[in-house]
Structure 1
Amino acid sequence: MTSMTPQNPAGEGSLFDGDPVMVPAQDRQGIPETFGGAASEGFDRVPPQDRDAEESVLGGMQLSKDAITEVVEILKGHEFYKPAHETIYRVITDMYGEGEPVDPITLAAELTKRGEITKVGGAAYLHTLVQSVPTAANASYYAEIVRDKWKLRQAIEAGTTVTAMGYAQDADPAEVIEASAARLLALQASFDMGKDPAGWDAPMQDRIEEWEDDQAAGEDPGLPMPWEDLQSMLGTVPGHLVVLAGRPGMGKSVALLDIMRHLAVVHGRPAAFVSLEMARRQIMNRLIAAEAEIPQHDIRKRALDQAQWKKYDKVRDRIVTAPLRLIVPPGGITVPQIRSNLRRWQIEDRLPAALAVDYLQIIKPDVQGRGGNRTNEVDAIARGLKELALEFDLPVFAAAQLSRQTTGRDSKVPQLSDLRESGEIEQAADAVILLHREDYYEPESERAGEIDLIVAKNREGNTGIVTCGFRGRFSKIEAMGQDY
């Protein structure tokens, strides 16, 4: 099919419809001429479109129910360049969904009923659409053309937005680059959805076969963790959000880093630790202290003796070759920024087996959330982390702060209600582990050196308490009974 000369009547559609986008002469310096015609003429190209393909899609859908079924797998409606075509498409799919027959006569009647028949060109135009397509058999082919043209328009819109950001007088280069990368990576993600990703039409036969295959694969112990009892209780798998909560200084960062260190150093699986509290040097001090069992105090003072250097030499290669990434974002980070980096890793086939964030309440709220109250911001962050776990099919571990309510009670044992600033943290998490140490409050306690990992919520199994040894000077938590 030969595409018709693109029509561009004023007032049609969104940013790329109507009059061409023009850039003032004083703002065009440095813009390549190939970006949209000669620089002296501005951006005067008509956005990509194929009107013949759009007409053929709609004509085919009026001829055959099978064509409608095929097209709705490819298009959602917003991909049409001409607004009238999107209107017609949406009415066709509404009628089809209600079990109504679709042809030029019934379609015209429905459009008339909705007061939109004149907007789409009248009943005569619906007959023209049918007459323009020889057969409904190629409707899906034409739908793919429509979708591809829409993708190109989206790419142009993203590029235009990025260009406008760069030309802003007060633009911060780092912010522009970060926002540009996030925009483009999000665009790619929207193109990679595939057919029926949510499973709207997947029959139970498919689901039961998936389940049987999983069972036949044998026991799945979940993500390897340094504490066998906790690993067995949680059975953490991709898609889970696990929250480790405690008061400041209780050991949240130690626990998170232990999980990531065990995964990467012991099991050789990629892990990423995002710290919003510590500098990279502090994290390295803790990592080496835990792995080599050298007191943090000596490392911080840079006062290692010969024996300690020998301990370090024994573990150095293990640490160097471990697929562990230590990320300390300057100026903090938002959930969308985490998503853009995960998307980049996904494209490069470098997604980690697990992600840890230290800690949840100091993740920066998204720009769109500014002006809201703190509870809403934390709610959005908690939901965002859960969405990341599902979107990228990996477990996400996040530390969270508990409120001061704990310290005001006779019993200092934390409760789920102590989660600070948000009930959504508990709601979004698949598991919540509350950290408690008696010697945090009573240094001379008979349980000094112990830490309780209280599984207060667990969607995948039982709740309970796993008691471990807390070796604070080595920044390490170990299973009870382990030889110290």
Structure 2
Amino acid sequence: MITDRPLVAMEAEFGVIGALFIKPDLIETIGATLGAADFHDQDVAEIYTLILAARSAGRPADPVSIADIRHELTSGELTLVRAAEIMNSVPSAANGIEYARIVVERSKARKIAIIGQSIIDMASHARPLAGIIADAQEAVLALNSEDDEPDVITLREALGPVVDEMDARFNGEGINGHATGLKDLDELLQGLRGSHVIIIAGRPGTGKTTLGLGIAEQLTIRDGKSALVFSLEMSAKELSKRSLASSSAVTLGNIDTGQAMASGEQIVRITGAVSKMSQADLRICQKGGLPLSRIRNIARFQHKAKPLDLIVIDYIGLIAPEAGSRQQNRNLELGAISRGIKGMAKELNVPVIVLAQLNRSIETRSSKKPQMSDLRDSGEIEQDADIIMIAHRDAESDLGRSGVTEIDVVKHRHASVGHCLLQHQGEFARFVNYAGQREQQQEQEARPPAPRTSKSLLNTFNPQGGF
């Protein structure tokens, strides 16, 4: 019984080249999965590159043609001589695709060996152990995620999920993606979908954390899904206290002071909430000062252990720069972080909610209503995000003082922008649907339409025929 796996398969490498010379029609099929870097022999890798170049230029892919492109290989061997030797050693193209699979497999095995050696080397470095572990995890998980999906799919394959989604919506399965539990907000967002980055921005005290955590609670406590929250500022204890207040409808003050234990009704509420919360798959990472590479590694690990339905990062401004980063300013750093978050959402196919601060400049403007350009430090956040919503509460109005908060969706790649009102219940650390908005909508729907004037009739008249 063979237990060892050779790290190099020269016969397979020669077999691929010979098969391509004999049957050039295999070039597109093999070229979609096999790269020049997968070959161990440098001469073979260069010949493979020349075959692809000849095919791309519309020239015959044979030893004479590739020798015309490059007379001599890097090793000093004549291209024609080396290519002819390989071609003559391969009798048939029948197993070309299988040879290519073996070459890719051996290439990955060599990468694993290199990673293993690098981990051994890193272990002796005078660096924080947490950083070494993060680098090791990233290297292994990055290798594992290679080639999970094809580089190219047909339109027919791409249409499959679209048709399935339409069918699900037609059969009453609701919005696409996950619901926030807030009806008016769900109507705007049309679901939190995999690979989307959703920015929740606002000035301090507008409820960004409350909204982000509330959505995670909706998915995990009420809908039985899984979420991971990176709380870079607040401790897990503080988050769980807020979650308990939100789920039990017992005020934060009574939970903080312990006064809730003096009320039988509140004890019943807390007991019921704890029972539900203890069954929820809501995971919290409370480590502060994490760079994005570490956040991605943790998310990958957690997603592999049990698939996640949502990731929340509170907040982007607290993500640390990478060790040895050469970015010249924070704006460039946040741009790189923003692109990395989008990459993570796409890789894991999980919606990522990212909380963000707004610039203080809005406080000096006559209009205090925030805009997308008020996102702090980086305009690239605007570009990478799929959805941007800004929380705003007018502290000078009666509605604002009562907790009514405007959620302004200023960017949405897959639906119209708009706004809605939510009721912030600070004592319970939660948002709920704003009843006043429902009443306004019902009043407008019940109001008789305004009489139409002759002018309005003429403006909308669209004759079907002509004179």
1:80 aligns with 2:80: no
Q: Distance in 1 between matches of 2:269 and 2:163?
A: 48
Q: Which residue of 1 aligns with 2:245?
A: 289
Unaligned runs of 5+ in 1: 1-45
1:232 aligns with 2:183: no
1:186 aligns with 2:142: yes
Q: Distance in 1 between matches of 2:234 and 2:160?
A: 46
Q: Distance in 1 between matches of 2:16 and 2:428?
A: 67
Q: Distance in 1 between matches of 2:330 and 2:400?
A: 39
1:404-455 deviations in Å (ceiling 9; x for gaps): 011111221101110000001111111111010112xx37666532111111
* Contact 1:438–1:448, Cα closer than 8 Å, also in 2: no
| CA separation of 1:431 and 1:380: change in aligned 2, threshold 3 A | same
* Contact 2:220–2:227, Cα closer than 8 Å, also in 1: yes
Q: Which residue of 1 aligns with 2:269?
A: 311
Q: Distance in 2 between matches of 1:313 and 1:48?
A: 58
Q: Which residue of 2 aligns with 1:324?
A: 282
Residues 63-462 of structure 1: matches in 2 within 5 Å? 63-112=22-71, 116=73, 119-168=76-125, 170-190=126-146, 192-194=147-149, 196=150, 198-199=151-152, 202-219=153-170, 220-222=174-176, 223-235=178-190, 236-304=192-260, 305-306=262-263, 307-329=265-287, 331-348=288-305, 350-367=306-323, 369-439=325-395, 442=396, 448-462=402-416
Between the aligned residues of both structures, percent identity stands at 28
Unaligned runs of 5+ in 2: 439-467
1:480 aligns with 2:434: yes
1:334 offset after TM fit, Å? Answer: 2.3
Residues 17-56 of structure 1: matches in 2 within 5 Å? 48-56=7-15
| CA separation of 1:470 and 1:347: change in aligned 2, threshold 3 A | closer
Q: Distance in 1 between matches of 2:345 and 2:204?
A: 25
Q: Distance in 1 between matches of 2:131 and 2:156?
A: 48
| CA separation of 1:94 and 1:444: change in aligned 2, threshold 3 A | same
* Contact 2:232–2:289, Cα closer than 8 Å, also in 1: yes
1:391 offset after TM fit, Å? Answer: 1.1
Alpha carbon RMSD of aligned pairs, Å? 2.1
1:368 offset after TM fit, Å? Answer: 5.3
1:217 offset after TM fit, Å? Answer: 2.8
Please give the secondary structure, in 2, of the residue aligned with 1:365. coil
Q: Distance in 1 between matches of 2:6 and 2:163?
A: 49
| CA separation of 1:346 and 1:97: change in aligned 2, threshold 3 A | farther
* Contact 1:59–1:130, Cα closer than 8 Å, also in 2: yes
Point out the more displaced range, 463-472 or 217-226. Answer: 217-226
* Contact 1:79–1:150, Cα closer than 8 Å, also in 2: yes
Please give the secondary structure, in 2, of the residue aligned with 1:134. coil
Q: Distance in 2 between matches of 1:193 and 1:209?
A: 18
1:209 offset after TM fit, Å? Answer: 4.2
Q: Distance in 2 between matches of 1:428 and 1:320?
A: 35
| CA separation of 1:473 and 1:184: change in aligned 2, threshold 3 A | same
1:80-114 deviations in Å (ceiling 9; x for gaps): 111111111111111112222111111211122xx
